[in-house]
Structure 1
Amino acid sequence: MLYPCHPVVERIRGMIRASGPPLSPQCCIYKVPTKMFCRNVAAYEPQVVSIGPFHHAKSNLKAMEKHKLRYLESFLGRQRLNLEDLVNAIGEWEKETRACYAEDIELCSNDFVQMILVDGVFIIELFLRSHFGDLLEDSDRILIFNPGFLNAINHDLILLENQLPFFVLERIFHFAFRGLHLENLPTMLDLTFRFFSYHNSQNLTPSFEVKHLLDLLRTFHLPPNPRMKPNIDAEFEFLPSATELHEAGVKFKVTSSTCLLDIHFKNNILEIPCLKLYDKTESYFRNLMVFEQCHYPYDSRILDYVFFMDYLINTREDVDLLVQSGVIVNWLGDTAAVATLFNNLCTDCTIVGSNFYFAHLCEDLNAYCRVPWHHWKAIFKRDYFSTPWSTAATIAATMLLLLTFIQTVCSIISLRK
């Protein structure tokens, strides 16, 4: 038995019927390549809840199945749904749903449809309870009694291997509310935006399609009006580190933009949006990067961003420089941990230099660094005008030298007379 004994489960069994022909959706849910997976297993595996087939029925995640079934029972009772009709509807999408996974799913039809029903309704009910406070129950152990547990669920819902196709959530939601004309009823996408509002730093509106929850989070970071990725014929030259750029006269400044990709260089100032680093940042970026490598290999903008930051950050001195300028907010504690984080993130990942999103920006920075005058000017400012005391000392020394020169000239003139 894949689920604990429960009346709803017993009613589901035997309801599955053969599904119709697939609608040929695009595969969008992948297994993490073994080499990347082994780099940091914890970054890709769910902690408390399995969603979809890849981690289904794992022993360490079984405790959540009771919560899922409790949510399913509440959802069915509140909406007064006919369970058999809902099971049959999901059965009709079975082949279409299976085709969204890059790996063959060995679950039989009955178990697969049951999993989709239980997991899909769990996500919908979780989002509904998060949005409508009056739906919360006194026995709700997820949203009321254990906020840390909810944070762990949030983390699990955005893992690449822990996804359901978003069209499944939308269809179940539509099935549940079909024929009802309720005021202020959000769409499934509205609920998802609300649940993940913390990641929606650009305040995007739900006006686009998404493949699954991780795909939505990726979209949150893309610029509303993205520039075209360059096609560079010449061999691409990557960046010096942050300290090397600083020594060449480049100044770092945090920009007011909330889009991670909105990085600009003008008048020796490199403007970069603020990046807050916390304990789940590595897992967050790793899943986005693997998803892009699998699904958006020629439009891997998050991966390009991480590579850009990786070239800026080699040592803790680079981190200190970016922290002092406000570009990085370090909640990891140790600055060396930040350097290690970025140095490890790009291991086993590849980018196409001719298609690198920040290629022109890197060209401008490298061109700036190749001008000797910029280095000399930076050295002069650092050695003689870096602090008020050194500035005052430099001015005083210059005035003393000037007065000495004037006195010498006057002495020479008087001797000639």
Structure 2
Amino acid sequence: MPRHKRAKGKGKPNRPVAECIRGMIRASGPPLSPQCCIYKVPSNIYHMNVAAYEPYVVSIGPFHHGKSSLKAMEKHKLCYLQSFLERLKLDLEDLVNTIEEWEEETRACYAENIELSSNDFVQMILVDGVFIIEFFLRSHFHDLQDDSDRILTFNPGFRVAIKHDLILLENQLPFFVLERIFDLAFQHLSLENFPTMLSLAFDFFSEYNTQKKQPGFEVKHLLDLLRTFQLPSNLRRQPKIDAKFEFLYSATLLHKAGVKFKVASSGWLLGIHFENNILEIPCLKLDDTTESYIRNLMAFEQCHYPYDSHIIDYAFFMDYLINTTEDVDLLVQSGVIVNLLGDAAAVATLFNNLGKNIAFGCSNFYFGGLCEDLNAFYRVPWHHWKAIFKRDYFSTPWRTTTTIAATMLLVLTLIQTICSMISLLK
């Protein structure tokens, strides 16, 4: 094979190319800081359902700042800021100067370069941070609400939309910013039993805290708090060493093998348990916001907790269980799923699409051992025969009565036959 001719001038630095590369490196910014915890949703995940990651009414933080569709809320933010400053008698300049000291630390929490000037960035952090604090305060202390508060007093649906927006991955502020502003505002007041910023967040998102966890741990932002609500208190459950998990049979197939589905009393997503042919799964209410809630938790885990992805594991477990509308109907009948979407096909599609473009590995699958137990149960022939026998002969009171009557008739006929044979032998 002929050798390529040596390029003219080889060995000399190509300055235009080198400068271009240096410019690209400078434009890319510094590497991610250990403080980084707020990310843009990866594009391959984002485009699976754009609406699940976009705020409805309010922008928080830099990623959606200034969007025309969200500008209507900026006036409400400023009204909340004015009320907050006047009620607590705070000096705006002092507050701004203090937040300026956190600018570099705050910027380091974002995975993207923030193109806002220092003044614009500090202003955004102050306005958005105070809005969240004041919103939580007014939700907790109802006497703070007045006729001018059109968010909480006149439009309850607005409150639901804001709650949705506050749990989006791209719509976060570092939680330390909220805590520091909160502490600055209330440090001069001596109030007994007054809540902390974290306890206010606990109260606002109480419906997600089904394990009744108590404040006393650090969170990175509000979405991280919701994830923490769902984490187990014990260590990650590991798959059995002597077996390799590959898949799980669907809910319908497991049911035909004799597995019964029951609503778990635990309430938290990962509280799934299998014992004595009963699979207990926490009830999941599916409404218009559920998919966005789960998707944002999954996107956050994919970016920040790739080796500790409990919510992703839950989504894949449910995807294994649900393949068809029959699987959905079975879980709805057992109370495991409350379907407010109205269509069983929509539920099946939701779960079948959650895991698309999500990196998933079985080696650290939280439900690996549970799935192996279910698969082992399914592969025992006796369980299938017993389930068929119960389904065909004892599934309803009428079938049970008919089966018992037929059995008694058969026994009586057998006894009569035996008696007749004995009398003939005599």
When the two structures are superposed, what TM-score results if normalisation uses the length of structure 2? 0.89
Query: Which whole-Å deviations, capped at 9, do the CAs of 1:31-88 have from their partners, x for residues lacking one?
Result: 0111111111110000100000000000100111111111111111222222121111
- 2:166 and 2:341 mapped to 1: Cα distance? 23
- 1:314 and 1:268 mapped to 2: Cα distance? 21
Partner in structure 1 of residue 94 of structure 2: 85
Partner in structure 2 of residue 331 of structure 1: 340
Taking the TM superposition and a 5 Å limit, the aligned residue runs for 1:256-275 are 256-275=265-284
- 1:231 and 1:246 mapped to 2: Cα distance? 23
Note if 1:398 corresponds to 2:407.
yes
Partner in structure 2 of residue 193 of structure 1: 202
Please state how far the C-alpha of 1:259 moved relative to its aligned partner.
1.9
Partner in structure 1 of residue 326 of structure 2: 317
Note if 1:29 corresponds to 2:32.
no
Query: Which whole-Å deviations, capped at 9, do the CAs of 1:70-113 have from their partners, x for residues lacking one?
Result: 11111112222221211111111111111111111111111111
Tell me the SS of whatever aligns to 1:265.
strand
Note if 1:138 corresponds to 2:147.
yes
Partner in structure 1 of residue 60 of structure 2: 51
Aligned-residue Cα RMSD (Å) equals 1.5
Partner in structure 2 of residue 278 of structure 1: 287
Tell me the SS of whatever aligns to 2:47.
helix
The amino acid of 1:345's aligned partner reads L
The amino acid of 1:131's aligned partner reads H
Taking the TM superposition and a 5 Å limit, the aligned residue runs for 1:11-22 are none
Taking the TM superposition and a 5 Å limit, the aligned residue runs for 1:288-327 are 288-327=297-336
Partner in structure 1 of residue 128 of structure 2: 119
The amino acid of 2:249's aligned partner reads P
Kept in 1: contact 2:286–2:337 (CA 8 A): yes
Partner in structure 2 of residue 380 of structure 1: 389
Kept in 2: contact 1:163–1:213 (CA 8 A): yes
Please state how far the C-alpha of 1:343 moved relative to its aligned partner.
1.0
Tell me the SS of whatever aligns to 2:285.
strand
Kept in 1: contact 2:239–2:245 (CA 8 A): no
Partner in structure 2 of residue 63 of structure 1: 72
Query: Which whole-Å deviations, capped at 9, do the CAs of 1:104-125 have from their partners, x for residues lacking one?
Result: 1111111111110110111111
Please state how far the C-alpha of 1:25 moved relative to its aligned partner.
4.9
Please state how far the C-alpha of 1:404 moved relative to its aligned partner.
2.8
Partner in structure 2 of residue 228 of structure 1: 236
Kept in 2: contact 1:232–1:355 (CA 8 A): no
The amino acid of 1:226's aligned partner reads N
Partner in structure 1 of residue 227 of structure 2: 218
Kept in 2: contact 1:43–1:282 (CA 8 A): yes
Tell me the SS of whatever aligns to 2:261.
strand
The amino acid of 1:383's aligned partner reads D
- 2:207 and 2:397 mapped to 1: Cα distance? 42
Kept in 1: contact 2:210–2:266 (CA 8 A): no
- 1:250 and 1:40 mapped to 2: Cα distance? 34
- 1:403 and 1:134 mapped to 2: Cα distance? 78
Q: 2:351 aligns with which of 342, 352, 360?
A: 342
Query: Which whole-Å deviations, capped at 9, do the CAs of 1:181-213 have from their partners, x for residues lacking one?
Result: 122321111111111112222221111111000
The amino acid of 1:281's aligned partner reads T
Kept in 2: contact 1:232–1:354 (CA 8 A): no
Identity among equivalent positions (%) equals 76
- 2:128 and 2:311 mapped to 1: Cα distance? 28
The amino acid of 1:136's aligned partner reads Q
Note if 1:172 corresponds to 2:181.
yes
| Structure 2 unaligned residues grouped into runs of 5+ | 1-32
Partner in structure 1 of residue 109 of structure 2: 100
Tell me the SS of whatever aligns to 1:26.
coil
Please state how far the C-alpha of 1:407 moved relative to its aligned partner.
3.2
Kept in 1: contact 2:325–2:345 (CA 8 A): yes
- 1:255 and 1:39 mapped to 2: Cα distance? 31
Note if 1:150 corresponds to 2:123.
no
Please state how far the C-alpha of 1:324 moved relative to its aligned partner.
1.4
Kept in 2: contact 1:127–1:192 (CA 8 A): yes
Please state how far the C-alpha of 1:251 moved relative to its aligned partner.
0.8
Tell me the SS of whatever aligns to 1:35.
helix
- 2:297 and 2:50 mapped to 1: Cα distance? 15
- 2:236 and 2:231 mapped to 1: Cα distance? 12
Please state how far the C-alpha of 1:134 moved relative to its aligned partner.
2.3
- 1:322 and 1:184 mapped to 2: Cα distance? 44
- 1:379 and 1:229 mapped to 2: Cα distance? 33
Q: Which moved more, 1:328-337 or 1:361-370?
A: 328-337
The amino acid of 1:330's aligned partner reads N
Kept in 2: contact 1:237–1:362 (CA 8 A): no
Partner in structure 2 of residue 39 of structure 1: 48
Please state how far the C-alpha of 1:231 moved relative to its aligned partner.
5.4
Q: Which moved more, 1:342-351 or 1:206-215?
A: 342-351
- 2:410 and 2:343 mapped to 1: Cα distance? 46
Query: Which whole-Å deviations, capped at 9, do the CAs of 1:315-337 have from their partners, x for residues lacking one?
Result: 11111111111111111112222
- 2:267 and 2:275 mapped to 1: Cα distance? 19
Please state how far the C-alpha of 1:229 moved relative to its aligned partner.
3.2
